[in-house]
Amino acid sequence: MRENNNGGPLAGQAMALRPVREAVVFLLVLAALLLTPGKRAGADVIWTPDDSFYDQHYEDCDYEGRRYYANGADGYVTVMESPEKRNVLDVLANGPVLYVSMTYDKGISGKWGLVQYVLNDEGQPAEDYSWDEGATVGWIKMEELLSVYDGYSFAEEHRAEIQETDEGAAPKVVMPDTGTIYLWEYPGSEISYGTLESMESEISIDQTYQDPGGDLWGHSGYYFGYRNFWINLSDPGEANPELKPQEKPKLTPPADRKTLESLPKTGRSGLVLPLTVAGLIVLTIVLTAFVIRFMAVKKRDEEKTADGGRKES
C-alpha cells in the first residue's frame, strides 16, 4: 500500500499557499458585494428599484407603493435621472400606468416619484419589478401623475362606511374548507395580492366594511410580508368576488410621436457608481495586492529558514 507523504515538498507548498488563497477569495467576495448595488427587498421587505440617488438619499424618501397614470399637462411626462440632476432619460406620452415605489420631497423642485419600467413589444412602457439592466429607472414629478383607483382610493371613498375595530373585539379570520384564503387590494377589486395556504398566527383585523351584498370584509395592515390587504370574512376562500367596476379617469390627451421625438434626451451622467462605492473597490484591490505580497514574502522567508536548517544538519 502506498502511503500519502504529508510532509513532502508539494504538500508543504500547498499548505503554505492555502492562507493566500483564502485571503484572496475573501477579498474577491467582498469586492463582488461592493460591486452589487444595495437591494432593499426580500420576502419580507419593500421592493425598490436599483437607483443610485435613492441609495444615497433613502432616509429622505417615503414609501409610496401606488400605481399612477402618466398625465403631464403638455401630453407627456419627463423621466429624469434624479430630482437634483437635469439629465433627461426619457419622455413618455400620457396614458401608461407606472408604479411609484418611493417619493422624494426634500428639494426646491417639488415632490418626485421613483419609477421603473420596460418597453413592451409595441414600444409602450410596462410596469417592471425586476432588477434587469434593460429596465429604465428614473424620477418623475408627482404633479405629472394621476393615481389609479386602489385601496387608498377605496378607503377615501368609503370612509364613512369603514369601521375601526378594537383589538379585543376584532373579527377572526378562519381558514375555509378549501384551504386557501384570498387577499385583495380592496373589496370588489380584481387585483389579488396573493393567497394563504396556512396561518402561522392570527391575522390582525383593524377595519371592517360591509359590501352591498351583505358580506363582511376585514382589512389588515400587515401579515408576513403582505401589506394593506382585505379579506372577505364572510367567505375567505372566494376566488371571484363581485367586482366593483371603476371608470378610468379623464387624462390629458397624449402628445403625438413627432412631438416626443423633438424633445431632447441627455441620458445618464458619466459617473455611474457612487464615489464611496468606487473608493471601497479601490481599497479592496489594494488590500488584496498587499495580502498576496505579504504572504509571498512570508513563504519565501520560511523556505530560506528551512533551507538553512537542512544545511546546518
Residues 199, 70 share a domain: no
Q: Which amino acid is at 55?
A: D
| pLDDT score recorded for residue 273 | 43
Domain assignment present for residue 37? The answer is no
The Cα–Cα gap between 204 and 201 comes to 9
Domain assignment present for residue 309? The answer is no
Domain assignment present for residue 41? The answer is no
DSSP state of 186: S
Weakest-pLDDT range from 128-142, 196-210, 269-283: 269-283
Residues 256, 129 share a domain: yes
The Cα–Cα gap between 21 and 17 comes to 6
Which is more confident, 277 or 45?
A: 45
At residue 305 the predicted structure's pLDDT band, cuts being 50, 70 and 90, is low
Tell me the pLDDT tens digit for each residue of 30-65. 444 444 444 433 334 577 889 999 999 999 999 999
| pLDDT score recorded for residue 78 | 97
Tell me the pLDDT tens digit for each residue of 90-103. 999 999 999 999 99
Lookup: cell for 274? 457612487
Q: Based on the structure, what is the number of domains in the chain?
A: 3
First to last CA, the chain: 31
Residue-number span of the structural domain to which 290 is assigned: 274-303
CB neighbour list of residue 93: distance below 8 Å, 6 or more residues apart: 70, 75, 76, 254, 255, 256, 257, 260
Residues 203, 65 share a domain: no
Phi-psi region of 45 (alpha: psi -120 to 50; beta: other; left: phi over 0): beta
Which is more confident, 62 or 247?
A: 62
* 126: exposed, middle or buried (Cβ count in 10 Å: 0-12, 13-18, 19+): middle
Residues 217, 134 share a domain: no
Mean pLDDT, the chain, whole residue set: 82
Measured CA to CA in angstroms, residue 282 lies from 28, 34, 49, 286 at distances of: 12, 10, 26, 6
Weakest-pLDDT range from 32-36, 87-91, 241-245: 32-36
Residues 257, 218 share a domain: no
Residues 256, 136 share a domain: yes
Tell me the pLDDT tens digit for each residue of 160-193. 999 999 878 899 999 999 999 999 999 999 999 9
Measured CA to CA in angstroms, residue 124 lies from 48, 67, 79, 95, 209 at distances of: 22, 16, 14, 10, 38
The Cα–Cα gap between 175 and 21 comes to 54
| pLDDT score recorded for residue 16 | 47
Residues 84, 64 share a domain: yes
Domain assignment present for residue 242? The answer is no
CATH code of the domain in which 145 resides: 2.30.30.170
